[in-house]
Amino acid sequence: MKTIAVLGSTGSIGTQTLEVVRENNDLQVAALAAGSNIVLLEKQIREFAPKAVAVWDEKSASELKESVKDLDVKVVSGMEGLIEISTLPEVEILVTAIVGMIGILPTIEAIKAKKDIALANKETLVTAGHIIMPLAKECGVRILPVDSEHSAIFQSLNGENPKRIGKILLTASGGPFRGKTKSFLEKVRLEDALKHPNWAMGQKITIDSATLVNKGLEVMEAKWLFGVDLDKIQVVIQPQSIIHSMVEYVDGAIMAELGTPDMKLPIQYALYYPDRKYLGGERLDFWKLSQITFEKPDMDTFLGLPLAFQASKAGGSMPTVFNAANERAVSKFLHKEIRFLDIYDIIMYCMEEHKTIQNPTVEEILATEQATYELIESRW
Ligand code: NAD
Ligand code: MG
C-alpha cells in the first residue's frame, strides 16, 4: 500500500491522479486539497475517503464542513491547512498538482517531513529551485517529475550516469499557433488559444503552451531537476507530441521516451517509480502514425521562450518575475482584458523594471511575486 496526498485534486492533473488511484488497489489517498470547487471535492471525499482535506477559501471550507458532517474527515483551510495535509504522518508521496507559486511552502514543508514529491507544479522549481533541490537532497527525498517532458527525461536517464549528459532535448508541440506570424497573433481570440492540438489541460497551462511560456518554464524546471546548465537544454518542436523528450549523451547516443499523449503515464510512473505498472489506453501505432516531424522553435515570434532563457540567465528572483508577470497576464487574457501579444509586453515590462535579488529566500520570492502583481495593476 502506498499513501498519497493530492494538492489540486479537482484540476486536470489532480483528477487524472485520482483516476490512476481508482485503477490501482494498492494506492490510497490520505488527503486532498482544492481551491474552491467543493462540489467535486465532496464527490472525491465520498469516493476516496481521505482523512483530511484542505480548501483554500475559508467560506467554501465551512460550507464543505457542513455537507460532509456525516463523514469522518477533517476540513482545514488556507496555507496552514495546505501545510497540515501535506505533512500528515501517513503521507508517503505528495502530488503537487496545484497551480501557481502557492505550491512552494507546502512542498518545502512536505520535504522537511520526508515525503517524496510527485511534482507537477512547475512554478515551485522555476521560482524556488535553488531552495527545493538542495533541501530535497539534504532530507533524502525524491523529486519525481510529473510534467510529461521531465518524466521522459527522467525515464531516459534510468541507469545512466547523469554526468555523461551531453544535452537535454526538450520537445514541444508548438501549440495551436505553430507556424503563425506576429500579425496573425495580433488578432487571435481566447477561444483559439484554448484549442491545444494534442493535450487537454487546465486553462492557464493551455495559454502558456500557445505563447511557449510553458516551454520556457519547463526549460527552467529541467535545469533544476537534472542539474544541467541552460546551454545544454535545447528545445525541439515535435508537433505530434509523440516523443516526450530526449537525452543526448556524450557519446552521441540519444535516449527518448515515446508514447501516445496521456498524462496518466507520467503520473503513474512517478507514483510507482522505479517500478512500472500496467496502464490501459491507446498504444502507439507506428503504421497509423507514419511520421514524426521536427522543427526549430520560432524565437522571434514566440517570445515566451527567449524571455525565459533571459530570466533564467539573470537567475535569482528574475524567474519569479517572469512567472508572476505571466500568471497575471494570462489571467487578464482569460478574462478578455488584454490581447494575446500583450502577455509578452507585460512580462518584458516587469522584467525590465526588476532589480534581481540573488539567492532569494521564500519570503523574498513571495514579496517579488506581490510586487510584480502590483506593478502590473498600476499600468494595465
Ligand atoms: P488546473 O487549473 O486544472 O487545476 C489546478 C488545481 O489547483 C485545482 O484543483 C484547483 O482547485 C487547485 N488550486 C488552485 N489554487 C489553489 C489554492 N489556493 N489552494 C488549493 N488548491 C488550489 O491546473 P492543471 O492543468 O492541473 O495544472 C496544475 C499544475 O500542473 C500546474 O503547475 C501546471 O503547470 C502543471 N502541469 C499540468 C499539466 C497538465 O497536463 N494539465 C502538465 C504538466 C504540468
Ligand atoms: Mg509539459
pLDDT digits (tens, 9 = 90+) for 24-38: 999 999 999 999 999
Res 210 pLDDT > 90: yes
147 is in an annotated binding site: yes
The pLDDT of residue 200? 82
- Which residue has the least CA distance to atom 2 on ligand 1? 202
Domains of the chain: 1-144 (3.40.50.720), 149-260+280-298 (no CATH), 314-379 (1.10.1740.10)
The 3-state DSSP class for residue 145 equals strand
Phi-psi region of 29 (alpha: psi -120 to 50; beta: other; left: phi over 0): beta
The answer to whether residues 14 and 6 touch, using CB atoms and an 8 Å cutoff, is yes
The 3-state DSSP class for residue 236 equals strand
pLDDT tens digits, 323-377:
999 999 999 999 999 999 999 999 999 999 999 999 999 999 999 999 999 999 9
The pLDDT of residue 196? 84
Phi, psi (deg, nearest 5) at residue 169: -105, 100
> Is the CA virtual torsion 321, 324, 330, 336 positive or negative?
negative
From the CA of 10, the nearest ligand is 1
Helical (H) or strand (E) element with 267: helix 264-272
Task: Report if pTM > 0.85.
Answer: yes
User: Ligand 1: which atom is nearest the Cα of residue 100?
Assistant: 32
Which residues have a Cβ under 8 Å from the Cβ of 362 and sit 6 or more positions away? 104, 105, 108, 128, 131
- Which residue has the least CA distance to atom 32 on ligand 1? 121
Residue 379: pLDDT band with limits 50, 70, 90: very high
Which residues have C-beta under 5 Å from ligand 2, the single-atom ion?
147-149
The pLDDT of residue 316? 98
Q: What is the DSSP letter of 315?
A: -
What Rg do the C-alpha atoms of the chain give, in angstroms?
Answer: 20
Q: Which residues, judged by CB distance below 6 Å to any ligand atom, belong to the binding site of ligand 1?
A: 8-14, 33-35, 37, 56, 97-99, 102, 120-123, 147, 199, 201-202, 204-205, 263
Q: Report the separation in Å between the CA atom of 12 and the middle of ligand 1, taken as the mean of its atom positions.
A: 7
The answer to whether residues 32 and 50 touch, using CB atoms and an 8 Å cutoff, is yes
The pLDDT of residue 345? 98
Interaxial angle between packed helices 203-211 and 318-334, expressed in degrees from 0 to 180 and rounded to the nearest 10:
110
pLDDT tens digits, 82-121:
999 999 999 999 999 999 999 999 999 999 999 999 999 9
Segment 213-231 mean pLDDT: 98
Residue 284: pLDDT band with limits 50, 70, 90: very high
Tally of CA atoms within 13 A in the half-sphere of 170 that contains its CB: 26
Residue 207: pLDDT band with limits 50, 70, 90: very high
Choose the residue to mutate in 117, 205, 208, 331 for probing ligand 1, maximizing ligand atoms within 8 Å of C-beta: 205
The answer to whether residues 175 and 210 touch, using CB atoms and an 8 Å cutoff, is yes
